[in-house]
A and B are shown apart, each in its own frame.
Chain A
Amino acid sequence: MDVRPRELAPISLTVNGNVHELEVEPRWLLCDVLRHQLGLTGTHVGCEHGVCGCCTVLIDGRPARSCLMFAVTADGADIRTVEGLARGDGKLHPLQTAFRRHHGLQCGFCTPGFLMAALPIYRRAGALSDDELREALGGQLCRCTGYVGIVAAVRAAAEIEAGDSAP
């Protein structure tokens, strides 16, 4: 594929299970395309240099900064955003329930990034020490909570999930 400056390139993104055929300038950041082309504004943009983690989404199952990826590079990728977290019937994901119960959010701006960063790890949080869990959540800035509620929530999510699925 070769695209001249400011020309549009056709790409296909699977976001939360839905396939989107789009045309994007190669320089457009994935976060901008998710937000403004697809209207998925749950993914937030806090620094555009990869430090704050507000824009973290899952790309092919792994957390990644959507501000440090061109949408064109994500062509063909399977992306999951915060909008794809709650179940179709509107029931919160156990992580979301845990964040609410443990006051893991205040202004909510960093929250989607934290949820997506925690998604691959919350099930093994119980086996991690406090330091290890905090390290696993490293790279996500929160300016409101002091992280107390966030750490508690990620630790509690697996238990909530077990309770949810109990007969």
Chain B
Amino acid sequence: MKPAPFAYHRPRTREEVDGLLAEFGGEAKILAGGQSLIPILNMRLAAPAHVIDINGLADELVEPALLGGTVTIGPLVRHAAAEGSQLTATALPLLAQALAYVAHPAIRSRGTVVGSIAHADPAAELPAAFAALEGEARVRSARGSRSIAAPDLFVSHLETSLEEDEWIEEVRLPVQGVRGSAVEEFARRHGDYALCGVVALAEPRAGSRIVLALAYIGMGPAPVRLELPELTASDVAGDALEDAVRTLAHEQLEPEDDIHASARYRRWLAERLGVRAARRAAGALEKH
């Protein structure tokens, strides 16, 4: 279980990354934390001709930063740094909640937030959090830069809408503000990819009404932000929420069978965990 040979590049600037991708594009893989990429390389499930190691980028922020009302996360911000950041705790509790479910401490110390989103694994927590928070990926190439909103970023399992010469230089997440949040998931072992997971955001609306947005983990080819109809607090506590989540789980999720869980079981978990997460998110709202 050893990687196949590759040409190795360690650029110092984002522009150099652009240049390398312009030259090698589809034959290249970007290496940041490597916690998803290197297992694939070790197993020789992929054998890119070029590996562009961005760990040598100079002058990159190692923690999330607040710019305007947006939290900006650079390409070398590790899971552990984002999880431990005071900014995350205050401005994006949902991100911190989701990060706690990402694998284990020794993985989170290397894995990067941007890398996890770029990897676009629908079974991972961060793409779902990114979708729920309506984040934006700043994408660049030698041809220029652009922003991709969450709904347009994830195409399918491990597939994004990036062109071959593009890479995500930053992820931007609007601060959570008054919105309450929660993450629920069920995995066979602590830290494993979940059989089903869900992140929930609760937003207060006029007249004590609440809008709940859910994004599921491992329940389809790509994470999608799903809004429930406006509910009152008593709706959230009662059958109305359960009915709404059930409808959503049955109409909008596309779980699959694998050796650990059937689609039917996953859908059932989606109902249970969705209700639990929604109630906790709404509960967090009341504390504000």
Contacts and interface: CB of A to CB of B under 8 A. Distances in A.
A and B touch in the complex (CB under 8 A): yes
Contacts of B56: 1
B13 to A, nearest CB: 13
B53 A48 contact: no
B7 A1 contact: no
14 contacts: A2-B10, A48-B2, A50-B39, A53-B104, A59-B109, A64-B106, A65-B106, A68-B107, A69-B34, A70-B8, A70-B53, A136-B105, A138-B105, A138-B191
Given A1-B10, A3-B8, A62-B109, 7 more contacts: A3-B9, A27-B41, A48-B2, A49-B39, A69-B38, A136-B105, A139-B191
A117 B105 contact: yes
A48 B35 contact: no
A67 interface: yes
Which 6 residue pairs are nearest across A and B when measured between Cβ atoms?
Answer: A139-B104, A26-B8, A5-B5, A62-B109, A49-B39, A1-B10
B31 A73 contact: yes
A138 B189 CA distance: 9
Interface of B: 1-10, 31, 34-35, 38-39, 41-43, 49, 51, 53, 55-56, 80, 103-107, 109-110, 190-191
A25 interface: yes
Interface of A: 1-6, 9, 25-27, 29, 32, 48-50, 53, 56, 59, 62-65, 67-70, 72-73, 117, 135-136, 138-140
Contact of B110 (A3, A26, A69): A69
B6 A53 contact: no
Contacts of A2: 7-10
A26 B38 contact: no
A2 B1 CA distance: 24
- B42, B43, B191 — most chain A CB neighbours (10 Å): B42
B53 A4 contact: no
A49 B109 contact: no
